[in-house]
Amino acid sequence: MTIRNGRMLPATKVKNGFGKVLNEIRRTGGPIIIERGGKRVAVILSVEVFERLRPDPRRAGDRRALARAGFGMWADRPDLDDEWLARGRARWQSKWNR
């Protein structure tokens, strides 16, 4: 079954032919969608495709990407700002060297 330039495979077939799956990923970039019990459970992508999909938090001025990298699903909360971070750091700062 083809899904957006990728394939859907049952987990057993992926397990039994993992070397072939890796060769296909290297050749095509993927994705290969893995099914278990008729439900989609995972996706295999090439490293190149994966890196393109990930936000680069090192980009200057991209605070949303930095927040997403640090806080994941909490990144969109309006109360998580620089002041909130400073209060949290002060509360958890080690007193070992003092």
pTM for this predicted structure:
0.51
Look at residue 1 in the predicted model and tell me its pLDDT. 37
Residue 97 lies in a domain: no
Q: How many domains does the chain have?
A: 2
Say if 43 falls within a structural domain: yes
Query: Residue 98: pLDDT band by 50, 70, 90 thresholds?
Result: low
Are residues 34 and 11 located together in one domain of the fold? yes
Helix (H, G, I), strand (E, B) or coil at 77: coil
> Which of 12, 64, 6 lies closest to 35 in space, CA to CA?
12
Domain of residue 42: give its range: 2-51
Tell me whether the omega of the peptide bond preceding residue 10 falls within 30 degrees of 0, making it cis: no
CATH number at residue 43: 3.40.1620.10
Which residue is associated with the tokens 């309006």?
78
Classify strands 6-10 and 32-36 as parallel, antiparallel or unpaired: parallel
How far apart are the C-alpha atoms of 82 and 43, rounded to whole Å? Answer: 35
Q: Express each pLDDT in 65-90 by its tens digit.
A: 666 666 666 666 777 777 877 887 78
